[in-house]
Amino acid sequence: MPLLHGNRHGGLPQVIEMKKIRMEIQETRKLWDEDPMRIPLQKSRRRALVLVTIILCCFGAILFRLVDLMVLDHDKLAGRAEQQYIRQKTLAPQRGVMLDRKMRELAANVDADSVYAVPSKVEDTRTFSAKLAAVTRISSKKLNMDLLKKKDREFIWIERKMDADTAGEVRKLIDKIGPEAIGFVPEARRYYPKGLTAAHLLGFTNIDNAGIAGLELQYNEFLKGEVTNVAVGTDARGNRLSSSVKDAVSGNSLVLTIDEGIQYIVERELSRAVDEWKAKAAVAVMMDPMTGEILAMANRPTYNPNEPGKSRDYARRNRAITDLYEPGSTLKSVLAAAAIEERVVRLQDWFDVSKGYIVVGGKAIRDVHRSEVITFQEVIQRSSNVGAVQVGLRLGSEKYYAYLKKFGFGEKTEIDFPGEVRGILRERRNWSGTSLAALSIGQEIGATPLQVLRAYSAIANGGILVKPYIVSDIISPEGTIVKRVVPDLSQRIISTRTAALVKEMLKTVVEEGGTAKRASIEGNLVAGKTGTAQIFDHKAGRYSPDKFVSSFVGFVPADNPRLALIVVVFEPKGKSYGGVVAAPVFRNIIENTFAYMSVPVEKNEHSILLVSRKR
């Protein structure tokens, strides 16, 4: 009956299923009666088989993953790990120092603090910026904008290489604005301990200590040292782990030919001259005429290399090698040397300058002071334009042009300094009918003060055109000499006889009757020449009637020259003659320099070449 009842409610399939279950129960009872332990053992074997299979599959998956991580994806994963636990750190080297010829520091390095912010840690950017702007040079508005734009960043610079006072003020604010939002980094800052002294020579660097001007730029590759990038291990929290890392390689040091004491004297006297004559600018360069070593080079106006951003471009310009001017009568010494070398004139030759002018190519060239008939020597002593033109006409344009080139005009001196200009000397085929006469009195040519000084040094040393230089030695951090400059004395341009004769003529310029009596020095003979050149007004198309360049160039002691010096004063007010404006500056510089160098008095009586005035 139960089966019929089940069939009535569940149907035939259910009846069949129930029969199977009953049969299994009966079979199980039979097996249990025969061997009670047989049934659990079969179930245990099945379970063990399933478990072993699962374990093997797990080990297989792990093994596959290990192969994938250690072999197939090794490079990619190693790179990720290095990024997370290895930090690249740049070790900035110490920039090499600059020393004068007596090993006194002219450019060095000092420690300075740079401050940075962590934008992600700054809660109130406006207040943060305002407080920092109050004690630093940064703009509150700009800093606030930077913090907002880079909110997710962990680092931005606020101000780099601050002075000690500013850094101290910033440190006082740390607790107020949050120590986690601000930090300091020590950096090396370029420092010029002598301030204005030799500013135009030394130049300056940018915020990253890269050379921007002067010797800092010219020798940047030697000075900058070797930047080192090293990998530093860190733990999970970013703390640096100990490591043995070598320091960056410091830069080489420069030993200059400059003497700090002489440089100071030159700059002091140049400043006095500018103040006295209300001049637009002035230049003075002192050189050893025997070697080409620059002992001093000064410009006015000037600037402080520790704060170059506070100066104008014109104040930072090294006019000694970048500014051209017409040398005027100082070029007559080159004319004299060429004429004597070519034997077209003798010291005893007479020149009639009584008219006070000479006409060449329809242009009248006049003397400032009238004379009668004078010797060739007196042409130079009195700086006669009329006499110089007559000498130039004897020499001829072809020969004169060749000697101007020999003396280095129209070419760079190749001094080890950036920005030097070539000067202007037109090729002879481009000369006009008045060019020879104009060049004979120092017009229609553009020269730098250094070019003129080098020409006079050739007369002083017996006829050799030297190559000027400022750096004598480059020394490694270990103290070994990397490079040493040897003077180049191979370029002879005139004979020793010619140089000696011109030297004797130049002595008379400083004597009674010469144009530069104010350059004379008691006890030491001076040889030199004045120059008074009108400045060409390009707008008016003619020479300015009231703007001049006053100059004096010479060497001392005349018979055994140790110093060659040029002084150029641009646009002095009140007076314009080189013998009045520039010659006294020359004298003051030399007298003070000789005292500094302990140069003994040569002699009191002046033995100069005297030419008999026969007519």
Residues identified as active-site = 329
Instruction: For residue 257, report the phi and psi dihedrals to the nearest 5 degrees.
Output: -80, -10
List beta partners, residue 567: 284, 552
- E-strand ranges in 63-176 read 86-91, 98-99, 105-117, 156-162
Q: How does DSSP assign 276-312, residue by residue?
A: HHT-SEEEEEEE-TTT-BEEEEEEES---TTSGGGS-
Q: How many CB atoms lie within 10 A of CB 347?
A: 16
Query: From CA 333, how far away is CA 379, in angstroms rounded?
Result: 10
CB distance 384 to 351 below 8 Å: yes
Q: Which two tokens stand for residue 397?
A: 């344009």
Q: How many CB atoms lie within 10 A of CB 53?
A: 10
Provide the CA 396 distance to its chain's centre, in angstroms: 43
- Written as one letter, the residue type at 224 is K
3-class SS of residue 408: coil
Q: Do you find a cis peptide bond into 301, omega within 30 degrees of 0?
A: yes
- CA dihedral in degrees (99, 100, 105, 107; nearest 10)? -70
Q: How many CB atoms lie within 10 A of CB 340?
A: 24
Query: From CA 374, how far away is CA 512, in angstroms rounded?
Result: 15
List beta partners, residue 358: 365
- Written as one letter, the residue type at 607 is S
CB distance 428 to 402 below 8 Å: no
In the block, which residue shows the tokens 């060409």? 536
Q: Provide the 8-state DSSP code for 246.
A: P
**Closest alpha carbon to 449 in 300, 284, 314, 337:** 284
* 349: CB partners within 8 A, 6+ apart: 375, 376
- ∠ CA 583-585-589 to the nearest 5 degrees? 120
Query: From CA 324, how far away is CA 294, in angstroms rounded?
Result: 19
Provide the CA 91 distance to its chain's centre, in angstroms: 23
**Closest alpha carbon to 531 in 516, 544, 517, 512:** 516
First-to-last alpha carbon distance for the chain, in angstroms, is 175
Q: Buried b vs exposed e over 491-529: b needs ≥16 C-beta within 10 Å? A: eebbeeebbebbbbbbbbbbeeebbbebbbbeebbbbbb
Query: From CA 552, how far away is CA 570, in angstroms rounded?
Result: 12
CB distance 498 to 556 below 8 Å: no
Instruction: For residue 556, report the phi and psi dihedrals to the nearest 5 degrees.
Output: -145, 155
